[in-house]
Structures are given as C-alpha cells and as structure tokens.
Amino acid sequence: MTREHRGTIFVEDGDVLSHVSFPGDQHVLRIAAPQAAVRAAPGQFIHLRCDADIPMRRPLSIQRADSQAGWVEVLYKPVGPGLAALTRVREGDRLNLLGPIGQGFRPDLSRPCCVLIGGGVGIPPLLFLAERLAGSDSSPVAFFGSELPFPFITQASALRLPVPAAATHSLALLEAWGVPGRLASNGGLTGCYDGFVTELAREWLTSLDAGALDQCGIYGCGPEPMLRATQQLAREFALPSQLCLEEYMACAVGGCAGCAVEVHTNDGPAMRRVCVDGPVFDGYTVYPATPG
C-alpha cells in the first residue's frame, strides 16, 4: 500500500526483505518500498514505525536504495525502546514507513573531489553518496570511523591512497565501486588507522597540494563531536562542507518544529527544521567560527 504525502514523501507498507545483525548490536534492514526507492537521494531518511505499540516513528538515514528492485536499506543501532523493538522484526514482516524525507547532499560539481567522512551510524548516508558518485564525473574519497566492528565486509584496499601505512582496509562495497577509502578506529580493529576518522582525513588532506585542495569539498555525518571536528577540518583547509545532522523528531514532515536548530545565515541567526530544511546543512552555518 502506498500513499503520497506532500507530493514527494510516500507512506508505504513494505515487506522486510532482509534483516542482518552484526556485532555490537548493529543491524542492517532492507525493506520493500518502491516509491521511496525511486526518489531516494543520499542524505535523505525514512521515518519508520518500529512497533505497533510504539506510536512515535524513528528517523533512519537511507544507506542504499535500488529503484529497479524497489527497496531501501538502513543501518541502525538501538539506543532506546523504538529501535530495540525493531530488532525483533523478521524477514517477511511488514513495516510502515514515510519517505524519502529531507534535503540531502548537493555535490558541488565545481569541486569534483568529494571527501566523505562518516562515523558510526553516520556512515549510511555517505555510503549511499559514494555509490551514487561512483562512475560519475566526481572522484569521491571515503573515510569511515567506528569504535565497534564495522557492520560491513572489510578488506585490504587495492586502491592507492596516501595515508599512514597502518590504514590498509576499506569496505568491500567501496572497493567494488572503485571508490578509494580507508577506515579509522580507536578500538584496535584490523587494518584501521588508530585514531579518529577526522585525524585520518587530515593526514590525507595534508598530502595534497594547493591545486588538489581546490578541487575538494567535505561531506560529513556522525555524532556531534565528530561533526564539529569535521567542520574544524573544513575550516583548517578552507574547504566547503555539507553536514548531515541528527535531531529528535516527532512528525518529520515539517509540521511541529520539534526538530528546529539554530543556523547562522548572512542575515543573522535563524531557526531551521532538521527534517525538511535539512538534515544536510552547510557546515559553516551550523558551526560558525567562534570569535577570537
């Protein structure tokens, strides 16, 4: 069953096609949702009813979407009762979702080197962006960080990237798409840079000359401290940045203003709804330079 909401957001009842659990209570869920799949763009999210007894939906970034097969995929890690209930869903069960929602990433074509920086459950929208940019005129480079084992197949990368020698591994998906990538962790994971993902990205950015830096733009998603560090990196290298934010959401379609955040525009501070004005914002408007 599909209904249209505001012309671009669809309400769908979709069968669960697969639901795979990974160490660290991380789960990848694929749902049949043909309308959302056709329109999904990186940075957008679905608003999912996790359980019949829990009225509040939960927002989850779209990690991948296949418009031909008609599915969307999400990666989640429960922190409370909604996503904990979702872990009990089985293949063949039916879930109700709203999607796709929000303003996603808008790759800057004048800067073809898209530097993707994702942390934890902030990796999904950037994996989606990597897939969409692969084979385009852009040349994405991905840096992903996690303290838990990555909920993906990882492997030694065959794609050259000037980063510290210990950072050997990438995601098998990135390798298959021909997107150079490396992983970071403070958790001692095999083949990972030992530190934060933004430090790994800094190592790589430092290896670039001024001409190469002029081609770069930063795209980030992850926990707030990581987003702040990502914006700090953008500022340090004078690069444009787009950051995907998280905020608690009620309606997720722009009606309640429960998700409003302050951004800093040329006309001064303004409130923006993360659900429909974002979740992707210009990093400089979200984390402006602090005076002094």
Strands (E), the chain: 2-5, 9-22, 26-32, 45-48, 58-61, 64-66, 71-76, 94-101, 113-119, 141-145, 154-156, 169-171, 181-185, 193-194, 216-221, 241-244, 260-265, 268-273, 280-282
* Cβ distance to ligand FES smaller for residue 187 or 255: 255
* Cβ distance to ligand FAD smaller for residue 167 or 173: 173
Q: Choose, by CB under 6 A, the member of 62, 179, 275, 286 that binds ligand FES.
A: 275
Tell me the two tokens of residue 270.
Answer: 């303004």
* Cβ distance to ligand FAD smaller for residue 76 or 204: 76
Residue 273's binding partner out of ligand FAD, ligand FES, none, with CB under 5 to 8 Å set by partner kind: ligand FES
Cβ-count burial 208-230 (b if 16+ within 10 Å, e if not): beeeeeebbbbbbbbeeebbbbb
Chain residue at closest Cβ approach to ligand FAD: 80
Residue numbers of the site for ligand FAD (CB under 6 A)? Answer: 45, 58-61, 74-83, 121, 124, 246-249, 279
Please count the residues of this chain forming the interface with ligand FES, following the rule CB under 6 A.
12
Q: From residue 230, how far is each of 38, 108, 226 by CA, in Å? A: 31, 17, 6
Residue 180's binding partner out of ligand FAD, ligand FES, none, with CB under 5 to 8 Å set by partner kind: none
Residue 257's binding partner out of ligand FES, ligand FAD, none, with CB under 5 to 8 Å set by partner kind: ligand FES
Residues in Cβ contact with 159 at an 8 Å cutoff, skipping those fewer than 6 apart = 170, 175, 178, 179, 180, 181
* Cβ distance to ligand FAD smaller for residue 42 or 124: 124
Q: From residue 69, how far is each of 31, 48, 116, 172, 176 by CA, in Å? A: 11, 20, 26, 21, 20
CB of 291 to ligand FAD, least distance (A): 29
Site for ligand FES in 234-263 (CB under 6 A): 249-252, 254-259
CB of 21 to ligand FAD, least distance (A): 13
Residue whose C-alpha is closest to residue 169's, from 200, 193, 134, 139: 193
Residue 121's binding partner out of ligand FES, ligand FAD, none, with CB under 5 to 8 Å set by partner kind: ligand FAD
CB of 27 to ligand FAD, least distance (A): 9
* Cβ distance to ligand FAD smaller for residue 93 or 236: 93
CB of 246 to ligand FES, least distance (A): 12
Number of residues that this document lists for the chain: 292
Residues in Cβ contact with 69 at an 8 Å cutoff, skipping those fewer than 6 apart = 37
Residue 81's binding partner out of ligand FES, ligand FAD, none, with CB under 5 to 8 Å set by partner kind: ligand FAD
* Cβ distance to ligand FES smaller for residue 233 or 245: 245
User: CA-to-CA distance for 157 and 144, rounded, in angstroms?
Assistant: 14
The residues of the shown chain that bind ligand FES, judged by CB under 6 A, are 249-252, 254-259, 273, 275
